[in-house]
Structure 1
Amino acid sequence: MQAFVTGGTGFIGAHVVRLLLQEGYTVKALVRHSSNLENLQGLKVELVKGDLNDANLAEKMQGCQYLFHVAAHYSLWQTDKQLLYHHNVQGTRNVLAAAQQAGIERTVYTSSVAAIGVGESGKVVDETHQSPLEKLVGHYKKSKFLAEQVAMQAAIKGQEIVVVNPSSPIGPLDIKPTPTGDIILRFLRRQMPFYVDTGLNFIDVRDVAWGHLLALQRGKKGDRYILGHQNLSLKQLLEQLAEITGLTAPQTAVPSWLPLSVAWIDEKILAPLGKPPSVPLDGVRMAQQPMYYNPAKAVTELGLPQSSLKTALQDAVDWFTSKGYVN
């Protein structure tokens, strides 16, 4: 059983690779020439140099039965608009075409809850919900929605494709870090005197990896599955971190207009003058609505594990600390 994995150097992808190896698969991982290979160090993985938009991708997939297309470009900066569509939409189109050409039997495509959108006024939504494209905040969410449509259309045309939509993963190996990892790091560094009144769905990243493998084994072609666990307000997450670390959680919520104003000045006025922006406008806009999801379909149909978030948070804290990120 040989699997081809894109995005294997990243947070979710590295855990998918580890799980595949643990379960007896051999793995080929597509890595860019500029990729940080730290997450694959010491693993018995065949590294294949290349890019999502390479013309000869089908050749690189030869001999593999399964594809996990985990790679995506993540950015909330509006200046990265073209990169987002090039990697996420065109890249997905190219990867899936190559998979068909290479005779890949089954593909798991990693979308995101970002592609689903959010419920009105913090309502919890499932896979049946879809915010219209124009209501998705920012080009990252829009690009993930359009990329998911590419995968769904390929499935309608006969390709064996299952779509998974992870929520906000937590755990070790978050090398970039992700936005959730960044929240944990800011808390550990005492850089969070206030919090934003918002909420997210969180899940242990190792459960997300299991969700990918279970989708390969049990998922219905052309269906999507939310890989999530617990809906928590940001305040509740920070309180859990306080309990784990003994550090004090911020007690005061900041009014939404304040970060919005800072981000607007940062990105629209100071960035064009050459100052690197520090707060993405789209990130602040996203935080104005809680992003709550119901993972029941993945739990029931796939057997998605629902491991303790506290353990995931503890492991993330330990990993960031041991790797020197906090200092």
Structure 2
Amino acid sequence: MKVAVTGAAGFLGTNLLRLLTDRGHEVTAIDRIQGASQSGVTWVSGDVLDPASMRQTLDGAEVVYHLVALITLAHKNDLAWRINTEGVRVVADAALAVGARRMVHTSSIHAFNQYSCGGRINERSPRSIDPDLPVYDRSKWQGEIELRKIIDKGLDAVVCNPTGVYGPVDHSDSRINKTLWDAARGRVPVMIKGGFDLVDVRDVAAGLIAAGERGRTGENYLLGGHFTDMFQATRTAAEVNGKMKPAFAIPTKVISACMPVMEPVAKAFGSDRISKAAMGALLSAPIVEHAKATEELGYRPRPAEQTIRDLVDFYNGKPIDVDTQKIA
């Protein structure tokens, strides 16, 4: 089957391409940069804000996986808003125009308001409509609204909402992976207490394919993993690599109390690591339910410890099991 993947050179895209080609699919990989050459993959350049470009690159695809997004911790970013909203509509409109059988849109857990969810998030939880939320959160929800406009015109599409994605294979040095790798090398003496739902990138890739095969038109599927305490996760990374573990964790209450002072100081030094946007999920720590994906897609994420061990092995250059989860 011929499929197309936007944002194919990214962290998730790299893992999705591997799984698609392993299944024998012919893949058109769409990105501004070309990723690694591999059998069954044709790289093309495309602009998700250009309707003509998208119709050309998606032509002939039976299934379209839309991964492109601009991630930012800023409160306002016009380009991020356009790519995460208008870009979704342009790709969806092009998929409908070329006769694609289905589109799988990769949204985010950030499309749900983690601050007003009552400590738990499922597909019925409040959405990110609050204007005080970071632009990424608001734009991911608006992107889903734009997609539904095209679904109403006849496009068969489903929406997946991954949580915090981590694990191998990663050539992008994503924030979570970098933190765990720093810990694995004994470079994280102190950690912040708290945690959030983390999911192996290989499981997300498998979940996207399952959604394309089994998902119901217009439905959302949360692709979560396991609630992961970051203090314990960094200690596990250090332990499996034989390095010194973080000694203690700073309580989240202390971080919350100091945020009004710490955030502007960090900003002055050009860092966004200490901000409401960066710390929000860690401080709110909602439990994410993925029962719907389990029941309807056969989705079963692997244990967090396995992902951490595989990630450390990957960064150490050791061979890892690149196979994704086995969807039931």
> Is contact 1:122–1:290 with CA below 8 Å preserved after alignment?
no
Which residue of 191, 198, 203 corresponds with 1:202? 198
Match for residue 317 of structure 2? 322
Pairwise CA RMSD of aligned residues?
2.2
Indicate yes or no: 2:161 matched with 1:165. Answer: yes
- Residue 23 of structure 1 corresponds to which residue in structure 2? 23
Change (3 A) 1:305 1:285: closer
- Aligned to 1:305, what secondary structure does the other structure show? coil
Question: Cα 1:136–1:101, aligned 2, differ >3 Å: closer, same or farther?
Answer: farther
Deviations along 1:136-186, one digit per CA (max 9) or x if unpaired, are 731111111111221233223321000001112222122222222132133
The answer to whether structure 1 residue 245 and structure 2 residue 248 are counterparts is no
Shift of 1:69: 0.2
The answer on 1:69 being equivalent to 2:66 is: yes
**Structure 2: distance between partners of 1:36 and 1:194:** 38
The answer to whether structure 1 residue 294 and structure 2 residue 289 are counterparts is: yes
Number of aligned residue pairs: give it. 312
Deviation at 1:41? Answer: 3.3
2:84 matched to which residue of 1?
88
C-alpha displacement of 1:45: 0.7
State the SS of the aligned residue for 1:200: strand
Does the 8 Å CA contact 2:184/2:239 hold for their aligned counterparts? no
After superposition, the Cα gap between the structure-2 partners of 1:308 and 1:43, relative to the gap in structure 1 and judged at 3 Å, is farther
Query: 1:122: Cα distance to partner?
Result: 6.8
Match of 1:215 in 2: 211
Report the AA paired with residue 129 of structure 2: L
User: Counterpart of 1:118?
Assistant: 114
Structure 1 residues 190 and 201 mapped into 2: Cα distance closer, same or farther (>3 Å)?
A: same
Instruction: Give the match for residue 322 of structure 2.
Output: none
Partner of 1:186: 182
Aligned partner (choices 42, 46, 51) of residue 42 of structure 2: 46
SS of the residue corresponding to residue 316 of structure 2 reads helix
Determine the C-alpha separation between the residues in 2 that align with 1:2 and 1:214: 16
Deviation digits for residues 9-57 of structure 1 (CA, Å, limit 9, x no counterpart) = 111111111111111210001110xx262xx333431111122112321
Choose which of 270, 282, 306 in structure 2 pairs with 1:276: 270
Match of 1:4 in 2: 4
Determine the C-alpha separation between the residues in 2 that align with 1:250 and 1:296: 35
Q: Deviations over 1:51-90 (max 9, x none)?
A: 21123210221111110001111121346x1121121111
Separation of aligned partners in 1, 2:184 and 2:73: 23
Amino acid in the other structure paired with 1:18: R
CA separation in 2, counterparts of 1:121 and 1:143? 18
TM-score if structure 1 supplies the norm length? Answer: 0.88
The question of whether the paired residues in 2 share the 8 Å contact of 1:121 and 1:289 is answered with no
Deviates more, 1:164-173 or 1:19-28: 164-173
**Out of 221, 226, 232, which is 1:225 matched to?**
221
Query: Secondary structure of 2:136's partner?
Result: helix
Aligned residue type for 1:71? V
Structure number with the higher helix fraction is: 1
Whether the aligned pair in 1 keeps the contact of 2:119 and 2:284 (CA below 8 Å) is: no
**What is the letter of the counterpart of residue 322 of structure 1?**
G
- The answer on whether the counterparts of 1:199 and 1:233 sit within 8 Å (CA) in structure 2 is yes
The TM-score with structure 2 as length reference comes to 0.87
Amino acid of the structure 2 residue aligned with 1:308: P
Alignment check: 8 A CA contact 1:77 1:280 kept = no
Amino acid in structure 1 at the alignment position of 2:188: M
Kept after mapping to 1: 8 A contact 2:190/2:248? yes
Structure 1 regions of 5+ residues with no counterpart? Answer: none
The Cα of 1:226 is off from its aligned counterpart by 0.6
Unpaired runs of 5+ residues, structure 2, are 319-328
**Kindly, what percent of the aligned residue pairs are identical?**
27
CA spacing shift, 1:92–1:221, aligned 2, 3 Å: same
Q: Counterpart of 1:205 in structure 2: which amino acid?
A: V
Query: 1:312 — aligned with what?
Result: 307
Q: Where does structure 1 differ by over 6 angstroms across 4 or more consecutive aligned residues?
A: none
> How far off is 1:132 after superposition?
4.5
